[in-house]
Chain A
Amino acid sequence: MVEIDGSAELARNIRLHCLRMTSAGGSSHIASCFSIADILAVLYGTILRVRPEDPKDAERDRFILSKGHAGAAVYATLAEKGFFPIDRLKGHYQDGSDLSGHVSHKNIPGVELSTGSLGHGLSVGAGMALSAKKLNEPQRVFVLLSDGECDEGSNWEAILFAAHHQLDNLVAIVDYNKIQSLAPVSETLALEPFAEKWRSFGWSVKEIDGHSHREILVEFQSVPLTPRRPTCFIAHTTKGKGVSFMENSVLWHYRTAKDEEFEAAYKELERLK
């Protein structure tokens, strides 16, 4: 991972927070958090026009985590960027806290939309993008989806809609880690030819390495890829990226790292630069 303005450090810290948060809370989805840590680091490090001191700034870019089960990664990113104190992350998944396992906007500065049920974020993002078009406002809308989430038919309604309305201020990023909750995507409900599907619906599509900060940065900086077309980045990622024994394993969709596993994972993440 090549460092860009501290993005590697940010990605490492996101992963470390996620490990601590999921282990302390006994929650799932650590591997889903790890696969998007680099994307979040570049988005919040460089790409998104957001200001932690004014999280509701009208001209901010909107970011929606449609794969709400990776909420810990977004909470960690927002805390690292100063939207709220890092200390609040300790409340994740704990009794009486605001930080639910699936991302919630209530009392959490910087979260645009609460999600958790898959297939909701892209339609809401399309609505936000259409509003910006109608009002001639500059903000862009980034929606991060999972690959398994693309099983949901509602996404394809939104994909049709965004292309029809030429929402080139809308960017969908698919975390294509190739593993969904019970088995590989290809064995569950095959998405391939995936890029072709988006393209044939009228989107401008680019496949990227979802862990290369430089590639993410360069490609995200060039949106819209085509005027009057929404953009889709299919980010090839590794589920559980950053901890060797969690990578590419269905097990770590749900498993929580405890004791020796926690120590081993922590050591591996600390070494990341």
Chain B
Amino acid sequence: MRDAFIQTLSELAERDPKVLLITGDLGFKVFDDYCERFPNQFLNVGIAEQNMTGVATGMALEGWTVFTYSIGNFPTLRCLEQIRNDACYHGANVKVVCIGGGFSYGALGISHHATEDLAILRALPDITVTVPSDLYEVREATKAIYETPGTCYLRLDRAAGSERPTPQFELGKMRRHKEGSEVAFLCCGGVLEEAMIAARLLDDAGYSSSVCSVHTLKPLDQETILATARSVRALFTLEEHTVEGGLGGAVSEVLVESGIALPTFRRLGLRSGFSSLVGSQEYLRQQYGIDGKSIFQEALKILT
């Protein structure tokens, strides 16, 4: 996903000389080509994320579109108040980019698990929050946040990701990747792949399921979420993130306030405190029940 982002950013930087990429001293070898082509549109501010976000705001207020880049929680939680007071309150064109959402850096330990960022950033006023689930969405979301005035968040997985060029991307509108009538999985981020695995297992077991990418967490596609909820027996949210306040939280809010007759509803994600387990992304997904097989079994429990 990282390479798809940089590639798209390069296209934007070529077109617009006031696109600026600021990194907090992370992205070894990733920016070599970008730096060579756009030396005046790149800045490494060192390991200082508060200053990175403040500087980004200052330059954005002078007409630049600034992408701040780091991994895990560093570009978000470490400098949350700068995002809130400086960037968001001033409507500054600061685009915060996190590489390594969820358990992307699983084995590095909890400092590198970005598992509450969506809930926290979604709570800020005047921000757009995007969580692409595939490479096409990474490219389109990067272009979309460039074009969207104000402060935006782009949360990327480190893993390579799939290509799903259809249906067309539109900010704030979820994309359906698989049609089905009994179960729907609303997903954000690369963990959507696990829902695709679960959906195939459900197919084999004779149950019809749909899989959707809610790549824009804010503003949320309320209309399609409600339409989906009305059409199925069971509705799942799936995120590599705590279920409190993230996609699961956001969808819950919409469902409860709508007053519709609810299908069986489950939030899949992290529930049991910090993970001090060491392991790869794949291993940790299994431990938290957000791998394809676990999701399939959870769905089966409800359907049978």
- A-side residues, CB < 8 A to B, are 105, 112-117, 119-120, 122-132, 134-135, 153-154, 157-158, 160-161
Closest to A64 in B: B58
Contact of B46 with A128 in the complex, beta carbons under 8 Å: no
Q: Min CB distance, B65 to chain A, in Å?
A: 12
Closest to B81 in A: A117
Q: Is the interface of B mostly helix, strand, loop or mixed?
A: helix
A-B pairs with the 3 shortest C-beta distances?
A: A127-B58, A123-B54, A157-B51
Contact of A134 with B90 in the complex, beta carbons under 8 Å: no
B265, CB-defined interface residue at 8 Å = no
B58: contacting residue among A117, A123, A157, A160, CB under 8 A: A123
CB-CB under 8 A for A126 and B54, given A113-B90, A131-B64: yes
CA distance A103 to B69 in the complex (A): 29
Contact of A131 with B48 in the complex, beta carbons under 8 Å: no
Contact of A116 with B85 in the complex, beta carbons under 8 Å: yes
B50, CB-defined interface residue at 8 Å = yes
Q: Is the interface of A mostly helix, strand, loop or mixed?
A: helix
Q: Please name all residues of chain B whose beta carbon is closer than 8 Å to the beta carbon of A114 when the two chains form the complex.
A: 85, 89-90
Q: Min CB distance, A157 to chain B, in Å?
A: 4
Q: Min CB distance, B188 to chain A, in Å?
A: 30
CB-CB under 8 A for A127 and B57, given A116-B85, A117-B85, A134-B40: yes
Contact of B51 with A130 in the complex, beta carbons under 8 Å: no
B45, CB-defined interface residue at 8 Å = yes
Contact of B51 with A131 in the complex, beta carbons under 8 Å: no
Contact of A131 with B53 in the complex, beta carbons under 8 Å: no
B48: contacting residue among A125, A130, A132, A160, CB under 8 A: A160
CB-CB under 8 A for A161 and B51, given A114-B89, A117-B85, A131-B64: yes
How large, as a class, is the contact surface on chain B? 20 to 34
B71, CB-defined interface residue at 8 Å = no
Q: Min CB distance, A35 to chain B, in Å?
A: 24
Contact of B51 with A123 in the complex, beta carbons under 8 Å: yes
Q: Min CB distance, A165 to chain B, in Å?
A: 9
| Sampled A-B contacts (28; CB under 8 Å) | A105-B90, A112-B61, A113-B86, A113-B90, A114-B85, A119-B50, A123-B53, A123-B55, A123-B82, A124-B54, A124-B58, A124-B61, A126-B51, A127-B56, A127-B59, A127-B61, A128-B58, A131-B58, A131-B59, A131-B62, A132-B62, A154-B54, A157-B46, A158-B51, A158-B54, A160-B46, A161-B48, A161-B55
CA distance A126 to B61 in the complex (A): 12
Closest to B63 in A: A131
CA distance A231 to B82 in the complex (A): 24
Interface membership of chain B positions 39-80, coded 1 if the CB is closer than 8 angstroms to chain A and 0 otherwise: 010010110101101111111111110000000000000000
CA distance A124 to B66 in the complex (A): 13
A113-B86, A114-B89, A161-B46 known, 10 other contacts, Cβ within 8 Å: A117-B81, A123-B50, A126-B55, A127-B55, A130-B55, A130-B58, A131-B62, A132-B62, A158-B51, A158-B55
Residue of A113, A116, A127, A134 most packed against chain B (CB within 10 A): A127
Contact of B51 with A154 in the complex, beta carbons under 8 Å: yes
Q: Min CB distance, B55 to chain A, in Å?
A: 4
Q: Please name all residues of chain B whose beta carbon is closer than 8 Å to the beta carbon of A113 when the two chains form the complex.
A: 61, 86, 90
CA distance A223 to B66 in the complex (A): 29
Closest to A135 in B: B62
Closest to A137 in B: B62
Closest to A126 in B: B55
Interface residues of B in 223-252 (CB under 8 A from A): none
Q: Please name all residues of chain A whose beta carbon is closer than 8 Å to the beta carbon of B46 when the two chains form the complex.
A: 157, 160-161
Closest to A152 in B: B50
Closest to B53 in A: A123
Closest to A121 in B: B54
Q: Min CB distance, B44 to chain A, in Å?
A: 10
Closest to B57 in A: A124
CA distance A129 to B43 in the complex (A): 14
Contact of B59 with A128 in the complex, beta carbons under 8 Å: yes
CA distance A52 to B143 in the complex (A): 37
Closest to A105 in B: B90
Q: Please name all residues of chain B whose beta carbon is closer than 8 Å to the beta carbon of A158 when the two chains form the complex.
A: 51, 54-55
Q: Please name all residues of chain A whose beta carbon is closer than 8 Å to the beta carbon of B55 when the two chains form the complex.
A: 123-124, 126-127, 130, 158, 161
Closest to B54 in A: A123
Q: Please name all residues of chain B whose beta carbon is closer than 8 Å to the beta carbon of A129 when the two chains form the complex.
A: 58
Residue of B61, B62, B64 most packed against chain A (CB within 10 A): B62
Q: Min CB distance, B87 to chain A, in Å?
A: 10
Q: Please name all residues of chain A whose beta carbon is closer than 8 Å to the beta carbon of B64 when the two chains form the complex.
A: 131
CA distance A128 to B50 in the complex (A): 16
Interface membership of chain B positions 274-298, coded 1 if the CB is closer than 8 angstroms to chain A and 0 otherwise: 0000000000000000000000000
Contact of A157 with B48 in the complex, beta carbons under 8 Å: yes
Q: Please name all residues of chain B whose beta carbon is closer than 8 Å to the beta carbon of A153 when the two chains form the complex.
A: 50
Q: Please name all residues of chain B whose beta carbon is closer than 8 Å to the beta carbon of A134 when the two chains form the complex.
A: 40
Q: Please name all residues of chain B whose beta carbon is closer than 8 Å to the beta carbon of A105 when the two chains form the complex.
A: 90
Q: Min CB distance, B251 to chain A, in Å?
A: 32
Q: Please name all residues of chain B whose beta carbon is closer than 8 Å to the beta carbon of A161 when the two chains form the complex.
A: 45-46, 48, 51, 55
